[in-house]
Structure 1
């Protein structure tokens, strides 16, 4: 399901796909889902960067929660900011009181009850457990877009929740006919 909630100048609900010209190596082949964007800056989470050291069963066990009898998704590195902070990006068919509605179909929360529901097998149908986030101050993201470090396209729930992580970077761009691996030959501005 495509997520076409981009309104006005806000990039909320869209993907930022790092281009081969990305000057910051920490974001090589990243797909960032923008959760909030306004005059005060922007905040997003990487949706294709599994954490090499942590697993969700380990996190649940460390929090004293049950480990459900089902396959759990990996833990993701959302970005370099506040790596000790945990977020759950989830399909909005699951209801919780404290959430940031990103689109009609995707929300973000830090509410512990959601993790407890996941541990009991009653959580959202689709979710990513994410440590850290990516943030930009006022005007910073817009400047990076002009410098062609990022390609901006509408977000797509199926890429976030259903695709293998290794395929997300290329697929996010390819949905618009863009081969991101040869993006240096195509220059555009946001």
Structure 2
């Protein structure tokens, strides 16, 4: 008999002030994959000011659309040269991971081409790199109180200013993350 696995796909990991790894201070990570083999997520509140979406498109020899383009994000410290597009699932492509019924993830270059032509997803984040955990690693980190797990909210992912996402992700459940402390209760 196999042990039941509680996947965190479609959830936020919100770093607490007790986060032992300073690289993840005030991070909100959206979990895209989680199973017994490990987990993969994308930091949704870490803008990258060293490169623009227009530069990404130009670098791929694609036209730059006239509409306002979103800021590039650092999805995490792993494979910073790898690009990911996280978007609302009203846009469909052949190679996509349906994270939830409303959010999908892809690395397909056709989506970048569609964005350049104004035919891509209307709402998306373009991210470089990702955050990954090996088997059991995320579960150990959760026990150590470095992360708070909460159901994700598309409004926070796609429509909120990056500097507000960390507090807002916790506050939607009545948690003031700035004063969050380890508390042990006994019944």
| TM-score, normalisation: structure 1 | 0.93
CA deviations over 1:48-84 (Å, ceiling 9, x no partner) = 1001211100111111111110111100000000000
8 Å CA contact 1:66, 1:120 repeated in 2: yes
Radius of gyration: which is bigger? 2
Runs of 4+ in structure 1 off by over 2 angstroms are 185-188
Is 1:52 the counterpart of 2:49? The answer is yes
Q: What secondary structure sits across from 2:180 in the alignment?
A: helix
Look up the match of 1:180: 177
Distance (whole Å) between structure 2 residues aligned to residue 186 and residue 136 of structure 1: 26
8 Å CA contact 1:148, 1:187 repeated in 2: no
**In the comparison of the two structures, how many residue pairs are matched?**
182
8 Å CA contact 1:46, 1:77 repeated in 2: yes
8 Å CA contact 1:41, 1:135 repeated in 2: yes
How far did 1:185 drift?
Answer: 5.4
Q: What secondary structure sits across from 2:56 in the alignment?
A: helix
| TM-score, normalisation: structure 2 | 0.94
Moved more, 16-25 or 178-187: 178-187
Look up the match of 2:69: 72
The runs of 5 or more residues in structure 1 that have no matched partner are 1-6
Distance (whole Å) between structure 1 residues aligned to residue 183 and residue 108 of structure 2: 41
Look up the match of 2:84: 87
